[in-house]
Structure 1
Amino acid sequence: MSNWVKEYQSKLVSPAKAVRAVRNGDWIEYTFAANTLPVLDEAFAKRIPELEDIVIVNGISTRPHAIHYADPTGKHSTWNSTHMTGIDRMYAKTRKVFYTPLKYSEAPRYCRDNKNCRVMMVQARPMDKHGFFNLGPTISHLRAAADVAEVIIVEVNEDLPYSQGGYGNNLHVSEVTYIVEGGHTGMPQIPNEEPEEVDRKIAEYVLQELRDGDCLQIGIGAMPNALGQMIAQSDLKDLGIHSEMLCDSMVDMAEAGVVTGNKKQIDQGRMTYTFAAGSQKLYDFLDNNPMCAGYPVDYVNDRVIACRNYNMVSINNAIEIDLTGQVCSESKGIRQISGAGGQLDFVDIAYHSKGGRSFICLSSTYTDSKGTIHSRINPLLSVGAVVTDTRSTVQYVATEYGIVNLKGTPIFQRAERLISIAHPDFRDELIREAHQLNLLR
């Protein structure tokens, strides 16, 4: 019996014992994206009523949390998200849900500098013969969180796919406090949003701007999914992937032979990412695949590193944009509905890459709950709207009515160009309001 196996057995405990490590006032690094804690979560939910003033730090919730339902009003715990999803917004109906504004590339430094989280609970694969637990689809900031946590509790999920590095994708048994065996608890399935005709039209405009050898960062959602399908069926060749998120559409592109990574300047031949979330197809593709390279986010989203790849292309969604080019991608007025993620990182990376381009994509309108249609292109951002991308950083903007380049243009040209891709029903009104605000000649 190896020393690592002996150490493993000495740290193997029941879920109930593991969660006894939490004390009043603790900040807890809890879950992120596909790495969830179905076993520890149930045990911790039973403990929550005994505790006071604890802070739950999570991001990109992909499964409901038992600990929320054990404390639905937040009497015992504060819910702090680094990237909001529909699950977090649902929690906000009964309790306060707080958000951490961030540049995703800086998240590991936040962990190390702030040293908030005393306890880290993390899902990992079974220990290998060398004593390492592989973190599977989520590398992100977890290595940095482990570096500062006093208590590290690993929940083993035998269904977690194995991620090849990169680096920062493993924890060693020697640094772990407790181990809980979860068995086969599966993976959270994130269904693809079915693209609508508007999404396909926007994707067509972006597709026309892509070239052989481009290196892509693509966000999640119906429009990126539509674009991924189109790219997989296109004649493009030797595309690369360097993207914070690995998603299903990238698997489609790789399996179609469109993505090879052969033209990349770094991580050549590999799809570089910091977390993966999607359907089982994605997890099966990721599992021990030498084509995939998982790194911490301060590698993947770092401008100096990422823009060493030529022809970086960033493609992301937005909620609204004003006529000067300020982009909001995370809030509806004052209500936080998503997160900044790495959008600003990659808008910046793409422009500074040799031959690079960044695209902000949004439908020209949306319909509210009362059936009223509103423009997403507005003279000013909605009251309270968060500026995700400053106007000086934005390059291409696309709607179903066209695509325009704002980079290096004066205010009057920005207003003219954005009005030209607004919904026709709103253009006259936008022109009148733009004149009132002195945005047009």
Structure 2
Amino acid sequence: MDFSQEYQSKLKTADEAVKVVQSGDWVDYGWCTGTPDALDRALARRTDELRDVKVRGGILLKPLAIFEREDAGEHFCWNSWHMGGLERKLIARGCAYYSPLRYSELPRYYRENIQPDDVAMFVVAPMDKHGYFNFGPNASHLMAICETAKHIIVEVNENMPRCLGGMEEGIHISQVDAIVEGENPAIGELGGGGPATDIDKAVAKLIVDEIPNGACLQLGIGGMPNAVGSLIAESDLKDLGVHTEMYVDAFVDIARAGKINGSKKNIDRFRQTYAFGAGTKKMYDYLDENPELMSAPVDYTNDVRNIAKLDNFISINNAVDFDLFGQINAESAGTKHISGAGGQLDFVMGAYMSHGGKSIVCCSSTFTRKDGTVESRIQPTLAPGSIVTDTRANTHYLVTEYGKVCLKGLSTWERTEKIISIAHPDFRDWLIEEADKMHIWRRSNK
């Protein structure tokens, strides 16, 4: 069937398309690389006409036009599923708020729990001959958005990779209310946090030693996971698989080194499965129409039951800090919001349930403040306001440059002893003193 006539009938300018937005509406900007460009600028041009427009989205890769004006908070409110640096600046302006979640549940939030979007607008790849617009590397929860939104506007970008999968990775033209052809800007890139430091490399070596041949991998974003990826690419490991929420550049390097074939996966054999991807153009080019990749919704990738089906599942994630009880904070510095929960708890739980699986949370033992003060990332207790991303009962492996410890099944004094053993030596006596005050210290090697 030729869909060109229907395409032309729904084709509008960005300014025409956003006229559907009214004051008080909930508007969805999709997610990450799918965040609209031309439609965002068109909506910004209507600022004076609108009040209390509540916008959903997450992981912004460039500033939004609707928040360029100083008085933007009087007109628009950003509600983020996962925040980055750009969004933290909006928090400081009183324009943005975080929406707590367990990422695997996000599609269900749309289908069952939250007020439906009045308008959804996001970037897609050009329509194929069957009338489908591909979501690019953003299957995540976009179909749930489309199923519940009252109006759907797609912004076509010729640079958006077509990400294959077969599960909720695109929308048919019959479900779309308006089509906008944007200016085809380059897809937003997300770097890996700079080159790996010596500490990153030390942590990575400790982690890679825990990975067996045939393991299935999940990597987070940042210097340490990238360092792990580089070491894996240079290692003798083989027959690795990928099942992750976020596809990152490190996977491309591992795959091109011939380490990934997915042959040992218990489900989705020979496929690299992911919910969304953000990285460099190298990664987007690799994802484009690659049948080895499997783009899937996050309630599939992050379902702990699916993760648990995969033997030798190795989950590797970062933390902001953790305490002597084994509570992990990956979201905030006290009450100052940093990012979000994402799917860390999904993979912490799923990896432990996997036969031979390991959940590994890593960070450097210390960090340096702007004034040059060095502080420990291992604290007696989390700072007031810090978010417990992973409860102490769920923590499996913790890793710093000073070692790795497994906390499963240990009492409070055993946990304390092991955690202090991977703290920076300069802070160990202090941590022991604080642990003693809390009655969780008992040196076993007197």
> Any conservation in 2 of the 1:272–1:300 contact (CA below 8 Å)?
yes
Question: What is the aligned partner in structure 1 of residue 181 from structure 2?
Answer: 181
Question: What is the aligned partner in structure 2 of residue 162 from structure 1?
Answer: 162
Superposed CA offset, 1:305-342 (max 9, x none)? 22211111100000110101000000000111111000
2:386 aligned partner, one-letter code: A
> Any conservation in 2 of the 1:30–1:120 contact (CA below 8 Å)?
yes
Question: What is the aligned partner in structure 2 of residue 337 from structure 1?
Answer: 338
Give TM-score scaled by structure 1 length: 0.98
1:3, distance to aligned residue in structure 2 (A)? 5.1
Q: Provide the rounded CA distance (Å) in 2 between the counterparts of 1:157 and 1:71.
A: 29
Is 1:401 aligned to residue 396 of structure 2? no
Question: What is the aligned partner in structure 1 of residue 277 from structure 2?
Answer: 276
Question: What is the aligned partner in structure 2 of residue 143 from structure 1?
Answer: 143
Moved more, 133-142 or 183-192: 183-192
Unaligned runs of 5+ in 2: none
Is 1:439 aligned to residue 430 of structure 2? no
> Any conservation in 1 of the 2:66–2:72 contact (CA below 8 Å)?
no
Question: What is the aligned partner in structure 1 of residue 25 from structure 2?
Answer: 26
1:90 aligned partner, one-letter code: K
Which contiguous aligned blocks of 4+ residues in structure 1 show a shift greater than 3 angstroms?
Answer: 70-73
Question: What is the aligned partner in structure 1 of residue 89 from structure 2?
Answer: 90
Question: What is the aligned partner in structure 1 of residue 389 from structure 2?
Answer: 388
1:368, distance to aligned residue in structure 2 (A)? 1.1
Task: Report the aligned-residue RMSD.
Answer: 1.1
Question: What is the aligned partner in structure 2 of residue 120 from structure 1?
Answer: 120
Q: Provide the rounded CA distance (Å) in 1 between the counterparts of 2:132 and 2:25.
A: 27
Q: Provide the rounded CA distance (Å) in 1 between the counterparts of 2:57 and 2:312.
A: 33
Is 1:6 aligned to residue 5 of structure 2? yes
Instruction: Report 1:4-403 matches (<5 A).
Output: 4-70=3-69, 72-113=71-112, 114-193=114-193, 194-403=195-404
> Any conservation in 2 of the 1:115–1:148 contact (CA below 8 Å)?
no
Superposed CA offset, 1:353-398 (max 9, x none)? 1110000101101111211111111110011100000000010000
Q: Provide the rounded CA distance (Å) in 2 between the counterparts of 1:178 and 1:359.
A: 45
Question: What is the aligned partner in structure 1 of residue 431 from structure 2?
Answer: 430
1:91, distance to aligned residue in structure 2 (A)? 2.0
Unaligned runs of 5+ in 1: none
1:93, distance to aligned residue in structure 2 (A)? 3.0
Superposed CA offset, 1:85-134 (max 9, x none)? 00101222322421010000000000111243111001101111111101
2:214 aligned partner, one-letter code: G
1:226 aligned partner, one-letter code: A
Superposed CA offset, 1:119-150 (max 9, x none)? 10011011111111011111100000100000
> Any conservation in 2 of the 1:137–1:275 contact (CA below 8 Å)?
yes
Give TM-score scaled by structure 2 length: 0.97
In the comparison of the two structures, how many residue pairs are matched? 440
1:73, distance to aligned residue in structure 2 (A)? 4.5
> Any conservation in 1 of the 2:134–2:163 contact (CA below 8 Å)?
yes
Q: Which secondary structure does the structure 1 equivalent of 2:73 belong to?
A: coil
1:300 aligned partner, one-letter code: T
Q: Provide the rounded CA distance (Å) in 2 between the counterparts of 1:423 and 1:385.
A: 21
1:183, distance to aligned residue in structure 2 (A)? 4.2
Q: Provide the rounded CA distance (Å) in 2 between the counterparts of 1:282 and 1:296.
A: 19
1:222, distance to aligned residue in structure 2 (A)? 0.3
1:63, distance to aligned residue in structure 2 (A)? 1.4
> Any conservation in 2 of the 1:240–1:263 contact (CA below 8 Å)?
yes
Superposed CA offset, 1:11-53 (max 9, x none)? 1001001000101111111141111212111111101221111
Superposed CA offset, 1:253-310 (max 9, x none)? 0000011111001110110000011000000000000110000000000011222111
> Any conservation in 2 of the 1:154–1:180 contact (CA below 8 Å)?
yes
Q: Provide the rounded CA distance (Å) in 2 between the counterparts of 1:389 and 1:39.
A: 39
> Any conservation in 1 of the 2:314–2:351 contact (CA below 8 Å)?
yes
1:168, distance to aligned residue in structure 2 (A)? 0.3
Q: Which secondary structure does the structure 2 equivalent of 1:315 belong to?
A: strand
Q: Provide the rounded CA distance (Å) in 1 between the counterparts of 2:394 and 2:138.
A: 28
Q: Provide the rounded CA distance (Å) in 1 between the counterparts of 2:437 and 2:350.
A: 35
Q: Provide the rounded CA distance (Å) in 2 between the counterparts of 1:336 and 1:387.
A: 13
Quickly say closer, same or farther: Cα 1:72–1:209, change in 2 above 3 A: farther
1:71, distance to aligned residue in structure 2 (A)? 5.6
1:184 aligned partner, one-letter code: N
1:186 aligned partner, one-letter code: A
1:197, distance to aligned residue in structure 2 (A)? 0.6
Q: Provide the rounded CA distance (Å) in 2 between the counterparts of 1:31 and 1:163.
A: 16
Q: Provide the rounded CA distance (Å) in 2 between the counterparts of 1:297 and 1:117.
A: 19
1:72, distance to aligned residue in structure 2 (A)? 4.9
